[in-house]
Chain A
Amino acid sequence: MTPGEWIFIAVMATTLAGSLAAVLSGSLIYALFGLVTAMFGIAGIYIYLNAPFLAMMQILIYVGAISILIAFAVMLAGPMYLRPKEWTSPKKFVAALAVVLLSLLVLVGIIMGSFRAASGAKPLIVTTQELGRVFLDKLTLPFELISLLIVVSIIGAIMLALFSKERK
């Protein structure tokens, strides 16, 4: 095997180990660090696919911002070292069923989809400039829609904060 393949395997193993730790760990804080490991693994995949900008954004946003916010939420959420008491509730079975169905759907989509055609070709090298140009040229509508989504969530957060103040 080439060194590149070994690196790919290492990156995949990191991602998988991290996600397994995130799902299976009983302690919230360990689950969080598992999630962080998985995010790092995904950033590694981006680097492997010749997209350094995306990889750095992955670390900056998911490791640097989202996971820190999750940590904040965990710390505000009371006794976090206690495991939840009930392990089998009907809700969990429904959730598990939904997750399995969704993953099957995604898997079928990947296998049937057009990804396979590109697997032999080398990944494109896209510079940051090109990426920016595409965002503000071809993909303006989705780009703006995403910012709309962020505005909605910010307004929602402000409303929540306002209402909880009134109740006091």
Chain B
Amino acid sequence: MVNDLLKLAGSDAGKMVIGLVGVLLFVVVNALLLTWAERKIAGHMQRRIGPKEVGPFGLIQPIADALKLLGKEILTPAKVDKPLYYLAPTLIFVPVLVSFIVIPFDASLQVADINVGILVILAFSSITILSILMAGWGSENKYSLIGAIRSVAQNIAYEIPMLLALLPVVMLANSLSLREIVEKQQGLWFVVIQPLAFIIYFIAGVAETNRTPFDLPEAESELVAGYHTEYSGMRFALFFLAEYTNIFIVSAIAATFFLGGYQGPVLPGIVWFLLKSYLLVFVIIWLRWTYPRVRFDQLLNFAWKGLIPLAFLNLLITGGLLKI
């Protein structure tokens, strides 16, 4: 019996199932942890304590929240465009799951090392926008639609500097595979050579995850909740889960590309990787509770007139220096 199970786990299909279950588990635990961290950090930054009633330091709070969301009746507003409305929360999970396939958690802990790894993440992350569009359109609600349109405009603007900021690293490492990029950073992290690219990537990443100060698609004070206004219960929770996982993915890619990924002394690789990633996650949460929301014209001007020319210049200089 045990042998049979081990044999099954060793096969390709078995590995895939184990990988998928592991990824799903990680997604859920990560989201629970981050909701707690977000509220706790926000509390302390505003001289409050944050959640403290449920469990020690309020640690059980996210589980209580999840149970509440699970127990809610799933409402479907009468006038929604049903196929799109139902499909959107499911589809928003595809890029999240695909991204985890190529992220190297440790030298040997990676579902698959694809030689166009970073392209897989970048290509599939664009599907997030499509599902936001679906949600906004399918809800037949003007707030949702405005949120979706804003999201589309924002993502067009910020996807370009994001790509341009990652390209110098690809040129330095001479590879598109995430593991090889990490291996090339054995002596020196790329953030030392490419500080500007790191900052540009990080800003664009915060904008891509629709976080404050770039949270215009879901601005509470203007648009109720933007594209997920009409969603409730578990469907709303899926959007939430995807958002928190996206924050982790953006941080994980930044750690992989610029901060040496799983490289580090003494501690095992996965500890270093998670440490670096969650440090960046903390910075993203920190930004949310420090800065006010930008105006829409500021957002677009900043991307098109600031970040994109800077990223191009950086790319050009890197290319020139590499050839000398």
Q: Which residues of A does B touch, CB under 8 Å?
A: 29, 33, 36, 52-53, 56-57, 59-60, 63-65, 67-69, 71-72, 75, 127-128
Contact = CB atoms under 8 A, between A and B. Distances in A.
B185 to A, nearest CB: 20
Contacts of A56: 116, 119-120, 122-123
Contacts, number: 62
Question: For the complex, would chain A's binding face be called helix, strand, loop or mixed by DSSP majority?
Answer: helix
Contacts of A68: 126, 129-130, 133, 152, 155-156
Contacts of A64: 122-123, 125-127, 129, 159
A24 to B, nearest CB: 15
B176 A128 contact: yes
Interface in B269-297: none
A60 B116 contact: no
Contacts of A59: 123-124, 126
Given A36-B130, A68-B126, A72-B153, 12 more contacts: A33-B130, A52-B115, A57-B119, A60-B122, A60-B126, A63-B126, A64-B122, A64-B129, A67-B130, A68-B129, A68-B152, A128-B116
B115 A127 contact: yes
A72 B115 contact: no
Question: For the complex, would chain B's binding face be called helix, strand, loop or mixed by DSSP majority?
Answer: helix
Nearest to B137: A29
A69 B119 CA distance: 20
B116 to A, nearest CB: 5
Given A68-B152, A68-B156, A53 B126 contact: no
Interface of B: 84, 114-116, 119-120, 122-127, 129-130, 133-134, 137, 145, 149, 152-153, 155-156, 159, 176
A57 B116 CA distance: 10
A69 B156 contact: yes
Contacts of B176: 128
A123 B159 CA distance: 32
Contacts of B134: 33
- A-B pairs, 5 with minimum CB distance: A64-B126, A56-B119, A59-B123, A60-B123, A56-B123
Nearest to A64: B126
A29 B87 CA distance: 14
A22 to B, nearest CB: 14
22 contacts: A52-B115, A52-B116, A53-B119, A56-B120, A56-B123, A57-B123, A59-B124, A59-B126, A60-B122, A63-B126, A63-B130, A64-B126, A64-B129, A68-B130, A68-B133, A68-B155, A69-B156, A71-B130, A72-B152, A75-B149, A128-B116, A128-B176
Contacts of A57: 119, 123
B122 to A, nearest CB: 6
Contact of A71 (B114, B116, B152): B152
A104 B6 CA distance: 55
A40 to B, nearest CB: 9
A65 B153 contact: no
B115 to A, nearest CB: 7
Residue of B116, B134, B145, B153 with most partner-chain A CB within 10 A: B116
Nearest to B153: A72
Contacts of B127: 63-64
A75 B146 CA distance: 10
Contacts of A69: 156
B101 to A, nearest CB: 13
A69 B130 CA distance: 11
